[in-house]
Structure 1
Amino acid sequence: MPIEASATGFQSAFVAGLLDPLVSAPDDVVARDGKSVVARYNVYRNNVTVSLIDALAAIYPAVQRITGVDFFRAMARFHIRAMPPVSPLLSEYGRSFPSFIEDYKYAQQMPWLGDVARIERAWLDAYHAADFPVITHDIFAAIEPDLLASLRFTVHPATRIVRSAYPALSIFAMNRREGPVSPICSAESEDALVTRPEQDVLVSVLPPGGAAFLTELSDGVPLGAAVSAAFDDSPCFDLQANLAGMISAGVFAGVTYGDS
């Protein structure tokens, strides 16, 4: 057998058991100084799992605060076994965690928890997004009124939208700050806008129709058509308020006319 094939087979066998305690150490693993192969492999396996759990806790601190440390770490352990990492970057791990939470049977009494996790993931992605200048309010002063409907916007790389049927943004905000947690007496849906115009990540609630409006603009749809989609989503849509709020939040990095 070629050396390369043998090495690949050994690596596959070694990795297979790292996230599954029911898999035994590979037969050709050896330990120095007569140490127990099984014991040392189990220590290594435990270290890998703990590192991944710690990575999830760092990405989803609000979720951990809501559930408690023991619940979170147990849930994270099940996620790791079901969905092992595919990237060597720990910051990239856990993108499927929000969906896993929604299906996790012990979290069913917290149906909003998956959306809270989505906001936390969006926060981290915005934090690591590329830096880019943002447009300001005065850019519209020179635009002819008859050109407004054809405007197309370039969305800043840090911009993220998380739509939720629950007050997930309020729950997120309450559990990401220091101090005691107060009850949230609302069951209203909330659409979260996550941006990073400068150094700090901003998380704010989008007004009615704002999520549909910004989603269309993000897809390259001209302003006039995006406004129509926003009104279809919510008859209460306010174009001026939405545009002003988005520009202030640093949502847009550029604007063009028509097909230019």
Structure 2
Amino acid sequence: MLVSQPKFSEAVLNPELPTPSGLIDPNGRPAGKRFDVYRNNVVTSLIDAMQTAFPVVHKLVGTDFFNAMAGFYVRKFPPQNPMLMFYGTGFPAFLTTFEPVAHLAYLPDVARLELARRQSYHAADAQGFDPQTLVDLPEDALLQSRFDLVPAAQIIPSDHPIQSIWHHNMIDNAHPVKSRGEIVLIFRPEFDVDATLISHSIAHFLEHLQRGETLESAYDAAQQIDNEFDLSNAITLMLSTSIINKITT
């Protein structure tokens, strides 16, 4: 007797369910014990993957609590992709509804930051932008140009000091955690992911560029946030973080 894949998958992730009917070992006997071992190994491997993907969340809540919390997530949201490096994309949203961590208001955003760092690491490589392109463009043409940002660039805004929390938990001798919210720009200049804090106006500027707007339009939008917004500083930031993929005139 064959076992359907949906029933098998459901039983693997739900310890309350019995061994699927018809599942036998090589000797033709019911495979209850073997299945229990397999079920435990599957869930454990997924929880381990979550620990690797969200090391700061893991550190903030402790191993026992994290494993229990990740167990809830794993059983509710099993992998849809065979590559575990992409597993856990829904974890930040899950944390916003997980009542036991409701008092840790910063935790979902810390998870968002960790997810964004992982996505940046696995993002497609950039084309390789030549800064001389900016020098060669006349001012009018530059203002009407559109900046395509690299796939690895991500902007993570938060009402909480998420970068400071991440840094404090991942870097030895880190500075004390600040109390105010932070906006984090994540980038990958070569092989390693990095991050820097940016202002609200810079974030607004970059978001408008990501939508495909012209440099002039993004500049105008940023000035609505900060009338002293410095376009030269913004372009310098984009160059220093290597987030420009190409410019279309």
TM-score, with structure 2 as normaliser = 0.92
The aligned counterpart of 1:152 is 146
Structure 2 residue corresponding to 1:126, chosen from 109, 113, 120: 120
Structure 2 residue corresponding to 1:187, chosen from 163, 179, 182: 179
User: Residue 213 in 1 paired to residue 223 in 2?
Assistant: no
Residue aligned with 1:30, SS: coil
The aligned counterpart of 2:134 is 140
Matches within 5 A, 1:7-156: 10-33=4-27, 37-156=31-150
| The 10-residue stretch of structure 1 (166-175 or 48-57) with the greater mean CA deviation from structure 2 | 166-175
Structure 1: 5+ residue runs without aligned partners?
1-5
Specify whether residues 195 and 106 from structure 1 end up closer, same or farther in structure 2 by C-alpha distance, changes over 3 A only.
same
- Superposed CA deviations along residues 22-80 of structure 1, whole A, max 9, x for unmatched, are 21111111123476622221111111100100111111111111111111111101111
Structure 2 distance, partners of 1:225, 1:240, is 15
Please say if residues 23 and 30 of structure 2, whose CA atoms lie closer than 8 Å, have aligned partners that are also in contact.
Answer: no
Please say if residues 185 and 196 of structure 2, whose CA atoms lie closer than 8 Å, have aligned partners that are also in contact.
Answer: yes
The aligned counterpart of 1:3 is none
Structure 1 distance, partners of 2:50, 2:115, is 10
Residue aligned with 2:200, SS: coil
The aligned counterpart of 2:218 is 226
Residue aligned with 2:184, SS: strand
Query: Following TM superposition, by how much is the alpha carbon of 1:134 offset from its aligned partner in structure 2, in angstroms?
Result: 3.6
Query: AA paired with 2:210?
Result: S
User: Residue 197 in 1 paired to residue 189 in 2?
Assistant: yes
Query: AA paired with 1:26?
Result: P
Query: Following TM superposition, by how much is the alpha carbon of 1:87 offset from its aligned partner in structure 2, in angstroms?
Result: 0.9
- Superposed CA deviations along residues 198-248 of structure 1, whole A, max 9, x for unmatched, are 121111111231111111111111111111222334445332222211211
Structure 2 distance, partners of 1:89, 1:157, is 19
Residue aligned with 2:247, SS: strand
